[in-house]
A and B are shown apart, each in its own frame.
Chain A
Amino acid sequence: MTQPIVRIENLHKSFGSLEVLKGVDLEVDKGQVVVILGPSGSGKSTLLRCINRLEDPTGGKIFFEDIEITDPKTNINKVREHIGMVFQSFNLFPHLTARGNVMLAQQKVLGRSKADAARLAAVQMDKVGLGDKVDYFPAQLSGGQQQRVAIARALAMDPHVMLFDEATSALDPELVRGVLDVMKALAKGGMTMIVVTHEMGFARDVADRVVFMDEGVVHEQGTPEEVFDHPKSERTKDFLGHIT
């Protein structure tokens, strides 16, 4: 049994009086692709954002490679270097070119030289199929292309795990495919991934494990076959019934 790369224990998160996470336990092993499903407002995104502490949990513990992220003494910036994140709204830096976006943190955070950062930026941009768009500004790219640049930007940091927060939800349907292809390739390459998505096809094809969440708790988890074809929980059945 390998050591889990991410371990979440009894995680709680409240926004004021609204309790969004009500005790979530989750383990993700190295190289695993975990897809988190659930209706909107079920706390999927919040769970993901707690993992790199964009949200501060109100209770429970999160470990990343034996570092307790939830410990206030942890230098969270150091941990974040190793956790890549892709946002629903891309969040590319609009004042920088695609290359600039991919280079910035490499130089500022990892201290890579400009030449190294540029070379690695080119490699990652090739990987996401945008080798010819390095000099474009975000505004000149389609949503799908922007999201692929965002993936390249995260990958350039050599992350140990990648978090995808509804990475295709803001995209026009015809642009979703390109992004999903990149994610699939990444999964095949052995990247550890935690993916919040509504793309059932992706979950079925790529996920090692599917986690179904609703109302702040994990209701069911297992292989795609187990969850999609033989759901045990009524909630899961209900949810899958609604969307398929």
Chain B
Amino acid sequence: MTTIFRLRARVAAIIVAVMLVTAAVMPVAAMAMDVTASTTRPNGFAGQDTYGGKPTRLTWELRLKAGDPGVSALTIELPAGTDLSNSTVAVITLKGLQRTSVKSTTKINGPTMDVTFSQPVEPAANIRVTVERLVLPAAGGTLQITGTATTSAGIVPIPPAPTRLVYKRMTVAEGLIFWLDQQEWVKAWNSVNFLNMFFKPQIIVASIFVEFKGWLVAMALVAVGFPLAIPAGLLLAFAKMSKIAPIRWISSFYINVIRGTPLFLQIYIAFFGLPLVGIQGNKYVLGIIVLALNSSAYLAEIFRAGIQSISRGQFEAASSLGMTYWQAMQNVIVPQTVKRVLPTMTSEFILLYKDTAMLSAVGVFELMMYSKNLSAITGNVTPYVVAAGFYLMVTTPLISYVRTLEERLAVAEGGATPKPKKPSRFKWKPSSVVPDTAIMASSAENEAR
């Protein structure tokens, strides 16, 4: 019996305690006011993130429902370290579609704002407080807005926001852009419309960071696609030289179709046609396959021309020693061909690398796609200029590599003498000007495309 009694006493005590607590909280709980919005304006160069350490705008909205007491003042506390020294505060009320601006005075005290309305705002209405140019703490964190509302029923704590608001520490790029924003020379530079549209420093920095990912994707596409195209191209080349007519026809047909139609069209057929017949695949994989199939046709012609450029005597010599067709190919013809086709092959690699841009049309996120998006967000051409830089970063050394290969080949085949060393800028002699012989085969191939 005693245990039951004790239990009852305990339950009763708990009920009393709950009632007391409820009574203490009652004024708030009784009021139905809530926060319907608490947002900051994204202040990064792209995307939806808010960063600490640089100005942003806070929009905070308190809803007073029918039956709530009127509000005459708000005390809004922001995280410690928030800089409000340059801020301005505007208050409006919204009743349905009707907006009314509210006269108010604001006292700023560190991260705390005391906003006093000239006359209380009566329900039902939303009070929207907009704080311009506030700087959240640089370290980043969660933005929790606390404080109190002075109502006709007394001072009550303001309710929490419906969503958690996170602001971040600035990345290197963000920091750099913010720094550039404040530089006088940048402002002067950007005051020239052309420079501002094509070479805006802040967007250059942003583009480099954003487009780098796209550049990696473009590189990956071609780094996987091109090695796949090489064996396919070799196969097509040998098929085109086959003694068996149907094999020759198939190979020629394939090469002609691929070389005779735009890559853009081939991409569309692959990306829009295959799903219609139920073939779904990863778009990056499909992109690589299309690039490889396209390039294999060009490589096939390069290889075939290379193989056929080897003098007939080489094959005869190998045959006279008893080598079979494939032994001669493998040990005599192909090794010589490799050296000869390397410049044109490298040119083909350059073409393929640039052609990855076309995959942006079908939603592959590569360099072109990133720059297109960034350009759309910023309304500026600079992202494209930076993309050009990313393409050139790869193609320029390769083009000079092609030139070196061609010169070396010309020397090896006894065609030309080695190019004399570049004349020094300061000791320029007209006699040392050498005609440029490096155009040769690759340009012919480029024209063919």
Contact = CB atoms under 8 A, between A and B. Distances in A.
B321 A157 contact: yes
B412 to A, nearest CB: 7
Contacts of B311: 89, 91
Interface in A65-101: 77-78, 80-81, 83-85, 87, 89, 91-95
A157 B319 contact: no
A93 B322 contact: no
A153 B323 CA distance: 13
Given A94-B336, A95-B335, A108-B327, A78 B321 contact: no
A230 to B, nearest CB: 36
A157 B317 CA distance: 13
B320 interface: yes
A240 to B, nearest CB: 31
B443 interface: no
B18 to A, nearest CB: 94
Contacts of A54: 316, 319-320
Contacts of B316: 54, 87, 91
B317 A77 contact: no
Pick from B322, B324, B332, B414 the residue with the most CB of A within 10 Å.
Answer: B322
B339 A95 contact: yes
B22 interface: no
B320 A80 contact: yes
Q: Is the interface of B mostly helix, strand, loop or mixed?
A: helix
B412 A139 contact: yes
A91 B319 CA distance: 11
B314 interface: yes
A52 B327 contact: no
A15 B321 CA distance: 25
| Contact residues on B (Cβ < 8 Å of other chain), bracket | 20 to 34
Given A95-B335, A104-B331, A81 B319 contact: no
Nearest to B312: A91
A80 B322 contact: yes
A142 B175 CA distance: 68
A75 to B, nearest CB: 9
A87 B317 contact: yes
Contacts, number: 64
Contacts of A108: 323, 327, 331
Contacts of A81: 321-322
B345 to A, nearest CB: 17
Contacts of A84: 320
Nearest to A83: B320
A88 B208 CA distance: 61
A109 interface: yes
A80 B317 CA distance: 11
A95 B337 CA distance: 10
A49 B339 CA distance: 30
A93 B317 contact: yes
Contact of A87 (B313, B327, B332, B339): B313
Contacts of A83: 320
Interface string A144-179: 000000100110010000000000000000000000
A154 B316 CA distance: 13
B332 A109 contact: no
A180 interface: no
Instruction: Among B313, B317, B327, find the residue whose CB has the most chain A CB atoms closer than 10 A.
Output: B317
Contacts of B320: 52, 54, 80, 83-85, 87, 154
Given A54-B316, A87-B317, A109 B336 contact: no
A26 interface: no
A109 B335 contact: no
Contacts of B321: 80-81, 104-105, 109, 153-154, 157
B322 A77 contact: yes
A90 to B, nearest CB: 8
Contacts of B319: 52, 54, 77, 80
Contacts of B313: 87, 89, 91
B314 A109 contact: no
Interface in A110-124: 110
Contact of B322 (A87, A89, A150, A157): A157
A237 B327 CA distance: 46
Nearest to A89: B313
A139 B414 contact: yes
A67 B85 CA distance: 106
Interface string B296-330: 00000000000000010110111111111001000
A105 B412 contact: no
Interface of B: 311, 313-314, 316-324, 327, 331-332, 335-336, 339, 412, 414
14 contacts: A54-B316, A83-B320, A87-B316, A91-B311, A91-B317, A93-B314, A94-B336, A95-B339, A104-B321, A104-B332, A105-B318, A108-B327, A109-B321, A154-B321
7 closest pairs, A vs B, by CB? A105-B321, A91-B317, A81-B322, A85-B320, A91-B313, A109-B322, A80-B322
Given A54-B316, A91-B311, A109-B327, 9 more contacts: A77-B323, A83-B320, A85-B320, A91-B316, A92-B317, A93-B336, A108-B327, A109-B323, A150-B317
